[in-house]
Amino acid sequence: MPDFNNIVIEFLRENNNKISEHLLLKHIETHHSDFFSVLPNPNRLYEKHFYLFHKLYQLKQALFDDKLHLTVSALTIELLPTTSSHEQAANKSLGDNHPIGDSDPLAEFYLDKNNLYLSESEVQAMQKKFWQRYLAIQQKSDAIICLELQGETPLTLQKVKKQYQKLAQQHHPDKGGNAEKFQAIKQAFNELKLIF
């Protein structure tokens, strides 16, 4: 079987250096069907995904010495030259904020081959934790918008309290404000103050 790194790089170059995980997975299944044969359960989607990302993060490390940057995410796998300004722009736009040498929890997870053997219940617990964290971030984002605090960096409890008092007074029903808007402001404040 051809070397995995060569398969990925060749396929990336055939596709303008940018592919999705789904596209790469289908390509490997179609043209290199024995790639997943090393897995304990080669038909299990989690194992395929994990093994593919394990290999991609290894490739990312190998390419760093060749002055190439591999961005790895479930949505996009992209090969870029590592010119400092280009790499920084790519990192920001693609959400890949962890060049080699920096702490990257995803890379650490996928490079630890023991994670291949997670049970179905462990995978489900991990997915549940992810969605809880995602929803908490979304709620925080909605609360920030409700309190009109977008762009306030760093966001402090003092800034949140001050803005809450201003908006609560402005929208209080006893002062001619909208009761629904007032309740939304109270709820947003209660959600945000929990993070401090």
Q: Which two tokens stand for residue 46?
A: 């989690």
Name, in order, each residue with C-beta under 8 angstroms of 130's C-beta and a sequence gap of 6 or more: none
**pLDDT score of 114:** 96
**pLDDT score of 16:** 96
Per residue in 1-25, pLDDT (tens digit) is: 569 999 999 999 999 999 999 999 9
The CATH 1.10.287 domain(s) of the chain lie at 122-193
**pLDDT score of 2:** 67
Name, in order, each residue with C-beta under 8 angstroms of 190's C-beta and a sequence gap of 6 or more: none
Element holding 79 (H helix, E strand): strand 77-81
How many whole angstroms separate alpha carbon 112 and alpha carbon 54? 8
Identify any residues that bridge with 72 across adjacent strands, giving them in sequence order: 77
pLDDT along the chain (196 residues), means of 10: 88 96 96 94 95 96 89 91 52 43 79 96 92 81 93 86 95 93 94 82
**pLDDT score of 89:** 42
17-37 burial code (b ≥16 CB/10 A, e <16) = bebebeebbebbeeeeeebbe
How many whole angstroms separate alpha carbon 24 and alpha carbon 46? 15
- The answer as to CATH 1.10.287 being correct for domain 122-193 is yes
